[in-house]
Homo-oligomer: A and B are copies of this chain.
Amino acid sequence: MNGLMMSFPLTLNAIFRRAETFYPAREIVSRLPDTSLRRGTLGEFAGRTRRLVRALRQLGIRPGDRVATLAWNHQAHLEAYFAAPLAGAVLHTLNLRLHPDELAYIVSHAADRAILVDQSLLPLFECVRPQVQIPIVIVIGGGAAPDGMLDYESLLDATAPIGDEPDPSEDTAAALCYTTGTTGKPKGVLYSHRSLVLHSMGISLPDVMGIAERDVVTPVVPMFHANAWGLPYAAVMAGAKLAMPGPHLDPASLADLLHRERVSIVAGVPTIWMGLLQLLDANPATYDLSSLRTMFVGGSAVPQAMIEAFEQRHRLRIVQGWGMTESSPVGSLSHVPLDMADAADADKYRHRAKQGRPLPLVEIRARNEAGIVAWDAKTMGELEMRGPWVARQYFQQEGPSDRFTSDGWFRTGDIVTIDGRGTIDIQDRAKDLIKSGGEWISSIALEGALMGHAAVAEAAVIAIADAKWGERPLAAVVLKAGASATADELRASLAPRFPRFWLPDRFEFVDEIPRTSAGKFQKSALRARFGR
C-alpha cells in the first residue's frame, strides 16, 4: 500500500523559486578579473537566470542538451548553474586546469551544444575549439564578443525572462561533471534534480555543514569541481549570501574577501589553505577573520599539522570532508563525535585528520580479498558507498564498469580502515597502496608523518618494484627553504610510529611534487621518474 502524500518532485526549480520568493535582497558578491567586487542579489540573479533560460531555448537548446561552462566562480556561473537545468538542459562544468586535448575529448564525449566561457579563458578555449564541434559560444564578461560568439550581457539584455513553468520529473538529468583519474579516460557523472536537492539538504544539516540564511558562504573550491561541493545549490536554498572569489585564488585576495565580506563558511582544497596559513602567520593582525565559523577542507588528505596550526595560532576551525565526483561529492565529514567531547586535544586532532562519518542516507562498507572487513580501525579494505546522491553508472560508458558492485554499491578506489564509530580513515588510493611481502603499507600515513617533520615541506610516498618483496616504499621529499635533513634522519623519525617493514628504503629529495589539475599529488609522474 502506498502513502497518500503529494508527488511533489525534488527539483532545482523549487530551490530557485524559494530563493527568488523569500530571499531576493540577499547578496551575491563576485570578484571580477580586475579584482573589483561585483555586487548582485538573489533577486537580480533570479531575473537574469530567467532571461538566460529563454535565451538558451531561442538559441536552439532542447531538453537533455548539454550546456558547458568554462568559468571561474562568480554570479554568471551561478546563473548558468540554474538556467541550464531550468531550460530542461544539462549543465556541464569544464575543468579549466585540464590540458586542451583532454578538454576536447570531454566536450566531444559529452556532445556539448553550447558553452559559456569567461573572457579571460578564451585563449584556453581557442586551443580546444579547433578540435570540437560546439555550435553556440557565449562569452561572459568581455564586452563585444569575437566573431562567431555571443556576448553574455547583450544576450540577457535582448531576452525577456521566462515565466513560471511546470517542474520536471525529479529524475531528470540536471548536471554533468567529468572525473579525471590518473588512469583511463575521463568519465562523466550525470546528476539528477533529485540527487542535487537531496545533497543540498544533506550538506545543510547541522552536523554536516550547517548552512543557514545568516551564513556568508565562499566556495573556493571551483564550480567546475563536483558542483563546488554542492555549496552553490545549498546556499541558494538557504538564502545565504555568496561571496565568490572569481579567478583570484591567491592567499591575499582570499583573505581580503573573507575579511571584507564577513564570510562564515569557506570550502577548498588543502593547498589553498596552506597558502592562507602562511599569509596569516606572516601578517597576524592584518585580517579580521572572526566571522569565519568553519573552513571545510577536502579534495585530498588534510595534514593534521594544518588543522592544529589554524586552530592554535588563528582560532580557525577546519573540518575535513571527504567525497568524490561520483558522490555529488560530499560523503563524510570529520566532526569530533559527541563521545570524544572530553578527549585530550591530541586525540581530537588525530580524529579530525581522518575522513569522519558519512552523512545521513549515505552508507559505507569496506572490502578486501576476504570479504567485508570489520570496523576495527585496523583491517584495510576498499571503501564502498551507496546513497541517493551516489552515481549508479557513468555517462555514455559502454559495457559494465568494475566501479559498481553487483549488489548496487559504488567502489571508491580508496583503501580505508573504519573504526567502531564508523569513522573512515583513508590509508591510500587503491592504485597508490604499497603491497610489500603480502602486507599493505599506507603511503598516506607515511606522508602525513613525514610532513609533520620540522624540515619537510611536502612528501609523497610511492611503490617501487622490488624483486624480493614485490613492492617497497620510496619517499619523495621537498625540504623547507633553508632546512636540511638526511634520509637516515627522516627514517629514524618514522621508526617509532610504524612497523619496521613500512619504513621507506629510499628517500629522494626533490624541488616539488608534481600535482594533478585538482591539486592532488600526481604519483604516476613520480613513479615514471623513479622507476616502478
Contact = CB atoms under 8 A, between A and B. Distances in A.
A195 B195 CA distance: 16
26 contacts: A3-B194, A4-B173, A4-B391, A4-B393, A4-B394, A4-B395, A5-B328, A5-B388, A5-B391, A5-B392, A6-B387, A6-B388, A6-B391, A6-B408, A7-B392, A8-B386, A8-B387, A8-B390, A22-B422, A201-B201, A201-B360, A204-B206, A205-B212, A206-B210, A206-B211, A206-B212
A453 to B, nearest CB: 35
B238 A207 contact: yes
A18 B17 CA distance: 32
Interface of A: 1-10, 14-15, 17-18, 21-22, 25-26, 63-64, 90, 169, 171-174, 189-195, 197-198, 201-202, 204-207, 210-214, 237-239, 328, 337-339, 357, 360-361, 363, 386-395, 408, 410, 421-422
A421 to B, nearest CB: 7
Contacts of A421: 22
A197 B390 CA distance: 18
Contacts of A338: 26, 213-214, 239
B204 A212 contact: no
A5 B191 contact: yes
B195 A390 contact: no
A172 B2 contact: yes
B201 A3 contact: no
B8 A361 contact: yes
Contacts of A193: 3
Given A8-B361, A363-B17, A3 B339 contact: no
Contacts of A191: 3, 5
A276 B387 CA distance: 43
* Centre residue among A7, A18, A389 by max chain B CB count within 10 A: A18
A17 B362 CA distance: 11
A12 B507 CA distance: 52
Contacts of A422: 21-22
A393 to B, nearest CB: 5
Contacts of A339: 25
A350 to B, nearest CB: 19
Contacts of A192: 2-5
A423 B18 CA distance: 13
Given A8-B386, A338-B213, A388-B8, A172 B3 contact: yes
